[in-house]
């Protein structure tokens, strides 16, 4: 398993690899722009070319771009839906320019609608996005903890979206370990992990799983409360993560760590812990 972190582009794409190297990243995740706003500027061609050269030299791959926080194509609000759809379309285009193959999207929040209505809205939005942007970038749906009005906390929700999306070859999944656990899938035990993966394979398909977000949970099993915590220090625990990173159905996947951080020290601690769990 190749491990890495979400890396800031605050100082430009050209400085990403330096931050990634300090953290011993083999893979990385990043935003293509400010994740907390709707506005964005054009990508700097020279900045991107330098980034691409450094990534290649450092042998960092794959690279994942994460959608901003505000878009929600599960919403029935026409203005929010329109802006959210435009954001996905823009990010798919930006991924191609950056040279990344994967775009990660939170499935969304149903707000005042039913789960069924929200899932239909998400599927329609994905279909529209793929029709507008005909490149090879894969859109990865990230499962949720089910906090508030979130959808996507059940594998059956993800199955429903796949069933309604026309171009399934451009759609995939990223599983967040904290979210899975908090949503009620018992991945903290070996038997529970096997059972969870079996259900995911039956409903969605393990062939559609491209990435793991490796986060321990500060909240309890089935809490439906999303709180990431340091590897081995939360409710999933060291034994749980040892089973995850060495599982024959998962160990070929890249893993992005999204644990709390104040500075690089926390990241170095977490990557050391998880690397030490990998069996030779």
First to last CA, the chain: 11
Q: Superfamily for 3-277?
A: Divalent-metal-dependent TIM barrel enzymes (3.20.20.150)
Q: Determine phi and psi for 60, rounding to 5 degrees.
A: -100, 120
Inter-axis angle of helices 237-246 and 264-277, to 10 degrees?
70
Mean per-residue pLDDT pooled into runs of 10, the chain (280 residues): 97 97 98 91 96 98 97 96 96 97 96 95 98 97 97 98 98 98 98 98 98 98 98 98 98 98 96 94
- Would you state the pLDDT for residue 40? 87
The Cα 33–Cα 35 span in angstroms is 6
- Kindly report the pTM of this predicted structure: 0.97
Contacts of 241 (CB under 8 A, 6+ apart): 177, 214, 216, 231, 232, 274, 277
Residues with catalytic annotation?
36, 66, 69, 106, 142, 176, 179, 213, 226, 228, 258
- Would you state the pLDDT for residue 273? 98
- Would you state the pLDDT for residue 124? 97
Pairing of strands 228-229, 102-106: unpaired
In sign, the C-alpha dihedral spanning 257, 263, 264, 265 is negative
């Amino acid at each position: 398993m190749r491990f890495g972190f979400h890396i800031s582009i605050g100082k430009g794409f050209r400085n990403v690899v330096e931050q990634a190297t300090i953290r011993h990243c083999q893979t990385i995740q990043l935003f293509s722009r400010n994740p907390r706003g709707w506005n964005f500027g054009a990508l700097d061609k020279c900045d991107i070319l330098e980034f691409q050269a450094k990534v290649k030299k450092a042998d960092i791959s794959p690279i994942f771009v994460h959608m901003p926080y505000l878009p929600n194509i599960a919403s029935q609000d026409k203005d929010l839906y329109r802006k959210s759809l435009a954001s996905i379309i823009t990010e798919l285009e930006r991924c191609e320019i950056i040279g990344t193959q994967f775009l990660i999207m939170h499935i969304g929040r149903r707000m005042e609608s039913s789960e069924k209505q929200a899932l239909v809205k998400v599927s329609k939005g994905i279909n529209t996005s793929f029709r507008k942007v005909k490149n090879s970038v894969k859109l990865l749906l990230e499962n949720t903890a089910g906090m508030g009005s979130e959808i996507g906390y059940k594998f059956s929700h993800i199955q429903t979206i796949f069933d309604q999306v026309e171009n399934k070859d451009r759609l995939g999944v990223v599983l967040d370990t904290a979210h899975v656990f908090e949503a009620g899938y018992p991945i903290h035990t070996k038997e529970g992990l096997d059972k969870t993966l079996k259900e995911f394979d039956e409903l969605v398909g393990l062939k559609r799983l491209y990435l793991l977000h490796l986060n321990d949970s500060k909240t309890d099993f089935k809490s439906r409360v999303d709180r990431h915590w340091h590897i081995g220090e939360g409710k999933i625990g060291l034994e749980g993560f040892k089973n995850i990173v060495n599982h024959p159905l998962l160990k070929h996947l890249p893993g992005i760590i999204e644990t709390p951080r104040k500075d690089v020290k926390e990241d170095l601690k977490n990557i050391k812990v998880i690397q030490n769990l990998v069996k030779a």
